[in-house]
């Protein structure tokens, strides 16, 4: 449950799902791409249509950076920045529709860490736990540091207590998350490797997954601790963004290409069954056909397991938005499609390499038409299997691959 949700429930409010008629709507926004901004505007208009008499508050990253755009949308009563959103009841008093728009967006200079955790699947078996927020990097395409502020982290003692509390719930898996998770630094000095050591030192039934971590932050000690851990899932998701040294330099990423290629090889030699996902951006300004081909060839050759491919979109206020040599939209899209097709190939190769292995799955969803459960193995293989013992970890043997999944049997 998010800190905000908890705060409202304590004040006696009832939280209803989006789409129901209600007295007040609070919309938490994202601004990572142009499409995200457009989606936020659509959702605000939809909320207005569903509950025309409701107080409508808009908060989060888009609100932090573009309160001017939001204020032009009819029906919005208040806009809250990323720090102010934690003080909404104090700021506005009551949730009555207002005659005048209130804008509560301050600078993000001394922003505190606010924890959040939420279920990320329908069956409430996997929990996402935010332990770090904000970012001190200056990647030239990214609005997040401006929208979220500098890096800050959950206190180490709070983390210990949170882990022990989560262990008492029905969740089986915790995804450790943050904007730049590898930069975790507790006020008492502990770093992200210490977080993994803490997890291993506690008597927990939970398994843990790292949401995403920058390549320069997977230091040998961290890789060593993860590879020996009994609780960490063998799965890394690493934002590479481009396989061209020239484009990485323009993006002001904090690593050379060799860091990434060596890392992938090291992960595979330490943890052979490890799943490695990679984020890539296509169509960054100045990305020529030959830069793109470098990216494609690199990912084709490396033992990575899947790609998350994003098409570059220009964000006002970023350094890259001023760069020359924009890539035409159709070219960006074509590159995105090529890499998504490569991702399917890589995923199927990875899944094939896992056939006959015994893995542990958390049943997440039941499909009535097939009578099969779906769940992810510790190394992120999507498996379908027959299961009668619904709420538990299940050991399965991976039998055969089908498109983007594996059929398994309980052992
Ligand atoms: S590390 Fe991630 S969040 Fe930070 S500036 Fe770069 S892309 Fe943005």
pLDDT, position 365? 87
**DSSP string covering 284-315:** -TT--HHHHHHHHHHHHHS---EEEEEE----
Question: Between the ranges 33-47, 210-224, 357-371, where is the mean pLDDT highest?
Answer: 210-224
Asked whether the whole model's pTM tops 0.85, one would answer yes
User: Which structural domains are found in the chain, ordered by start?
Assistant: 3-104 (3.40.50), 116-353 (3.80.30.20), 358-410 (2.40.50.140)
Atom of ligand 1 nearest to the CA of 241: 7
Q: Is pLDDT above 80 for 229?
A: yes
- Cα 141 to ligand 1 centroid, rounded to whole Å: 9
Average confidence (pLDDT) over 212-234 = 97
pLDDT of residue 122 exceeding 70, the answer is no
Helix (H, G, I), strand (E, B) or coil at 18: coil
Going by C-beta distance under 8 Å and a sequence separation of 6 or more, which residues neighbour residue 116?
Answer: 2, 3, 4, 130
Ligand 1 proximal residues by C-beta, below 6 Å: 135, 137, 139, 142, 144-145, 179-180, 214
Q: How far is the CA of 271 from the centre of ligand 1 (A)?
A: 27
Stretch 179-201: mean pLDDT: 98
pLDDT for residue 9: 87
pLDDT in tens, 355-409: 999 999 999 888 888 899 999 999 999 999 997 666 678 999 999 998 789 999 9
What tens digit of pLDDT does each residue of 95-116 get? Answer: 888 888 999 998 888 788 887 7
Most confident of the ranges 75-84, 103-112, 327-336: 327-336
What letter would DSSP give residue 191? Answer: B
| Contact partners, residue 46, CB within 8 Å, separation at least 6 | none
Residue 158: pLDDT over 70: yes
Average pLDDT value over all residues in the chain? 93
pLDDT at 115: 76
Among the listed residues 152, 74, 58, 70, the one whose alpha carbon sits nearest the alpha carbon of residue 109: 152
Q: Are 232 and 270 in contact (CB under 8 A)?
A: no
């Amino acid at each position: 449950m998010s800190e905000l949700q908890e705060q409202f429930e304590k004040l006696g409010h009832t939280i209803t799902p989006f789409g129901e008629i209600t007295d007040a709507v609070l919309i938490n926004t994202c601004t990572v791409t142009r499409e995200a901004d457009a989606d936020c505007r659509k959702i605000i208009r939809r909320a207005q249509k569903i509950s025309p008499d409701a107080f409508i508050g808009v908060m989060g990253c888009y609100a932090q950076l573009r309160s001017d755009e939001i204020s032009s949308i009819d029906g919005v009563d208040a806009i809250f920045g990323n720090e102010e959103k934690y003080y909404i009841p104090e700021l506005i008093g009551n949730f009555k529709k207002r005659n005048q728009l209130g804008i509560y967006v301050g600078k993000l200079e001394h922003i505190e860490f606010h924890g959040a955790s939420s279920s990320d699947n329908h069956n409430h078996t996997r929990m996402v736990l935010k332990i770090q927020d904000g970012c001190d990097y200056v990647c030239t395409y990214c609005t997040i540091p401006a929208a979220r502020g500098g890096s800050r982290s959950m206190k180490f003692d709070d983390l210990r207590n949170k882990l022990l509390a989560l262990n008492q719930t029905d969740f089986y898996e915790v995804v450790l998350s943050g904007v730049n998770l590898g930069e975790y630094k507790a006020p008492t000095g502990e770093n992200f490797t210490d977080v993994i050591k803490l997890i291993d030192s506690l008597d927990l039934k939970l398994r843990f997954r790292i949401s995403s971590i920058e390549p320069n932050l997977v230091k040998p000690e961290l890789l060593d601790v993860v590879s020996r851990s009994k609780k960490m899932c063998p799965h890394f998701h690493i934002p590479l963004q481009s396989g061209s040294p020239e484009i990485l330099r323009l993006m002001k990423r904090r690593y050379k290409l060799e860091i990434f290629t060596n890392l992938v090889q090291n992960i595979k030699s330490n943890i052979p069954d490890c799943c490695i996902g990679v984020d890539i951006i296509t169509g960054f300004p100045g990305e020529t056909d030959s830069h793109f081909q470098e990216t494609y060839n690199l990912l084709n050759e490396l033992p990575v397991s899947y790609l998350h491919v994003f098409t570059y979109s220009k964000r006002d206020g970023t350094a890259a938005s001023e760069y020359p040599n924009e890539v035409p939209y159709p070219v960006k899209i074509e590159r995105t499609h090529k890499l998504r097709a490569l991702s399917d190939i890589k995923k199927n190769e990875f899944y094939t390499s896992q056939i006959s292995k015994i893995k542990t799955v958390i049943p997440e969803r039941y499909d009535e038409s097939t009578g099969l459960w779906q769940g992810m193995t510790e190394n992120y293989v999507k498996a379908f299997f027959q299961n009668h013992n619904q709420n538990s970890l299940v050991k399965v043997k991976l039998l055969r691959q089908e498109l983007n999944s594996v059929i398994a049997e309980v052992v």
